[in-house]
Structure 1
Amino acid sequence: MGDPPRLVATDIDGTLLRDDRTLSPRTAAALARITAAGTPVVLVTGRPIRWLPLVYEQLAAPLPAVCANGAVVYDPVADEVLRADPLAPDLLAEVARRLRAEVPGVSFAVEIVDSRQMRHEAHYPLRWDADHDAIRAIESPDELHSAPAVKLLARAGEQDPDAFVQVVAAALEGLAEATHSSYSGLVEISAAGVTKAAGLAWYAARLGVGERDVLAFGDMPNDLPMLTWAGRAVAVANAHPAVLEIADEVTGPNDADGVAAYLEQVFGVA
């Protein structure tokens, strides 16, 4: 496998966590041993900052995170945002205008305040964090683009996410990035050039690490830019077909400690 990587980057949901959103003791131990030995680990996720405590409480120590698909780089120890690349209000307004014209019944939510808060249209379907106190419905359509947002979320009922993201990407070509990380028809929109790869590249450069020395794990289309950029790309066995196609290697599935097994082999930390 060559020299050990100088930086480990991993997606969270569907990759590091099991399907029940828990982190196995084996995976937590592998991460702790690697970081204790001097190799930094960074979480690279579509999650907002407000969802990270659910992961941190299962780790030996909180890990830095590239959040919101690359739009936010976060230091959990200092509770500090190191970098943010939001969609400006005028850009948000234009993106929403184009998608309302292109996609009948589309509904939106925005991640604001560096993803510490969410605002959503009344008919936008919320999922498992619907009662979180940082989330509320907007009172007028203009409120959707009244502040910069690190991510715009679009839904139009349950549909094939691969097909839906193509429709959205075509409508926003040259204006914004569109991707997805679920099978429920949710499309995630960021400012042009903002991807997991861009956020991770910034963080790696801050550590003096080049892409050749980065080991990255992922499972969904929003991981593709990161996996393509990293020197070594590893997909979990449960990954989306597009991820399996471009990965350098495939490890076990998320529910069978695939990331931990690979790290134990590379770093000898079993």
Structure 2
Amino acid sequence: MIKLFASDLDGTLYNALHETDAAILRRLRRVLAAGRHVALATGRWARSAADLGFGDLPLELVCGNGAFVYDAGGELLRDVPIEPGVLEELLGSFPGVCFNCVAPDGVFVRGSRAAYAAGFVPPRGIAGRAIARRRRRHVSVGTERFDQTDADVLAHRVCKVNGRVSDPRLHAAVEAFLADHADALVNASFDGHLFEITAAGVNKGEAVAWLAGRLGVAEDEVAVYGDGGNDLAMLGRFAHAYAPRGASEAARRAAGAVIGSCAWHAVPRHMARTVRREGPLG
């Protein structure tokens, strides 16, 4: 019996516009009412499910690619920081990169608001406009602090570093740095262009397993859903793993089972069908 469902957001639990809607929320309520847990497993950073469009639903949150775990009430249960000396070396090695550094108390951007926005390139079309609109709303809430010095950044408990590097030589140099520091750092990027750096050993799969243990749920009682590069560890770890139809080839292989498209709410439908088939707990 599945007792914990954990899902990525963009391209997975969200709809085709990268948002929640009434149909998604309705099905999640049914899953929760049947006594199950639902966790959002995302590379994004937020303090609660409400920050990600899920209103007052009591959802656990695994964010920052597993660097942070929050309970359904928004309490921080666990965070895994990058070793400060390694972080200082990373920042010092690439002074021109607009890294945004994520800590429990906010996002500290080593660059201007304009440079930060320039590093975000949404897809074209209606979905891209929806993502850009949500992104503007998120930046406006004040969690980001811009024009931070290295010393400013290092004063916080940084658990994830994001950065988009368009210059091929500089991109290769950052990759080489990470390869040289593989014992301390890992990059699990969704699309291969954006660096998403955490401490070595941090990933969505490990964090969901940690959350399951805290909730008293066995790993074979967990179902996970994902579609991209930062979902591979999660999809590969759990026996009940599913990729939506639009997932990357690597994600489909890691999951082993492919369901429908996010445009047709395949993930929340699958969760609700699983609960309906298995019945209530107890």
What is residue 94 of structure 1 aligned with on the other side?
A: 89
Flag the 1:224–1:51 CA change in 2: closer, same or farther, 3 A.
same
TM-score by length of 1: 0.84
Flag the 1:125–1:215 CA change in 2: closer, same or farther, 3 A.
same
Structure 1 position 62 matched with structure 2 position 58: yes
- Which of 156, 179, 188 pairs up with 1:170? 179
What is residue 280 of structure 2 aligned with on the other side?
A: none
Paired with 1:61 and 1:188, the residues of 2 have a C-alpha distance of 28
- Which of 20, 24, 30 pairs up with 1:23? 20
Paired with 2:202 and 2:70, the residues of 1 have a C-alpha distance of 15
Flag the 1:45–1:107 CA change in 2: closer, same or farther, 3 A.
same
Question: What RMSD in Å do the two structures reach over aligned CA positions?
Answer: 2.6
What is residue 249 of structure 1 aligned with on the other side?
A: 257
Structure 1 position 224 matched with structure 2 position 220: no
Deviations 1:29-70 (A, max 9, x none): 2211111111211111112125742434x4562311111111
Paired with 2:267 and 2:217, the residues of 1 have a C-alpha distance of 21
- Which of 78, 88, 101 pairs up with 1:110? 101
Paired with 2:91 and 2:174, the residues of 1 have a C-alpha distance of 15
Structure 1 position 260 matched with structure 2 position 257: no
Deviating beyond 4 angstroms after TM superposition, the runs of 4 or more aligned structure 1 residues are 162-169
How far residue 173 of structure 1 moved from its aligned partner, in angstroms, is 1.5
Flag the 1:164–1:208 CA change in 2: closer, same or farther, 3 A.
farther
SS at match of 2:77: strand
Is the Cα–Cα contact under 8 Å of residues 164 and 187 in structure 1 kept in the other structure?
A: no
Which residue type is aligned with residue 88 of structure 1? E
SS at match of 1:49: coil
Ranges in structure 2 where 5+ consecutive residues have no aligned partner:
121-134, 278-282
1:67-78 matches, cutoff 5 A: 67-77=63-73
Paired with 1:165 and 1:228, the residues of 2 have a C-alpha distance of 26
What is residue 111 of structure 2 aligned with on the other side?
A: 122
Paired with 1:187 and 1:164, the residues of 2 have a C-alpha distance of 12
Flag the 1:148–1:7 CA change in 2: closer, same or farther, 3 A.
same
1:43-58 matches, cutoff 5 A: 43-50=40-47, 52-56=49-53, 58=54
**Mean Cα displacement is larger for which, 30-39 or 133-142?**
133-142
Which residue type is aligned with residue 131 of structure 1? S
Is the Cα–Cα contact under 8 Å of residues 151 and 188 in structure 1 kept in the other structure?
A: yes
TM-score by length of 2: 0.80
Is the Cα–Cα contact under 8 Å of residues 48 and 70 in structure 2 kept in the other structure?
A: no
Is the Cα–Cα contact under 8 Å of residues 228 and 246 in structure 1 kept in the other structure?
A: yes
Structure 1 position 143 matched with structure 2 position 138: no
Ranges in structure 1 where 5+ consecutive residues have no aligned partner:
none
Paired with 2:227 and 2:233, the residues of 1 have a C-alpha distance of 12
RCO higher in structure (CA 8 A, sep ≥6): 2
Is the Cα–Cα contact under 8 Å of residues 63 and 76 in structure 1 kept in the other structure?
A: yes
How far residue 163 of structure 1 moved from its aligned partner, in angstroms, is 8.4
What is residue 242 of structure 2 aligned with on the other side?
A: 234
Structure 1 position 154 matched with structure 2 position 163: yes
Task: Identify the structure with the greater strand proportion.
Answer: 1
Percent identity between the two aligned chains: 30
Flag the 1:134–1:238 CA change in 2: closer, same or farther, 3 A.
same
